[in-house]
Amino acid sequence: MRKIAIIMVGMAALLIFQSLPGMAHHGWSWTTGGNIELAGVIQKVSLGMPHGIVYVDADGEVWTVEVGQPWRNERAGLKPDDLAKGVEIRVVGEPSEKLADKLLKAERLYIGKREYVLYPDRD
């Protein structure tokens, strides 16, 4: 009986862990796989874990842009004050498969003449 209980718990754990990727949008599975470029002005910023969010007004449409985790932003050379309300920004990244969501996962950011590469492994 105990052996059956252990097997059942193991199978339940396996099913739970297999379903986790589908429950979150982290990673790249929700994107189109191709890049677009978005230019606009930062309206709002929320930095932190699991990743930062920057809201960008691009021609009157506000896009939600996922930037890197704090360590990734720092590695790219970004300082928290670089991503501030009113800053003009250009973003290259992968949009959501549902374009109406206006959601973009940033790979590169351009502020002024400076380029910040968040995901060098995506080239």
Which tens digit of pLDDT belongs to each residue from 55-74?
999 999 999 999 988 888 89
pLDDT given at position 97: 87
pLDDT given at position 51: 83
Give all strands (DSSP E) within 67-113, no chain letters: 88-95, 103-111
pLDDT given at position 6: 57
Q: Which of the four pLDDT bands, split at 50, 70 and 90, describes residue 25?
A: very low
Q: What is the mean pLDDT of the segment spanning 81-110?
A: 93
What structural domains does the chain harbor? Answer: 36-122 (2.40.50.1010)
Is residue 93 a contact partner of residue 117, using CB atoms and an 8 Å limit?
A: no
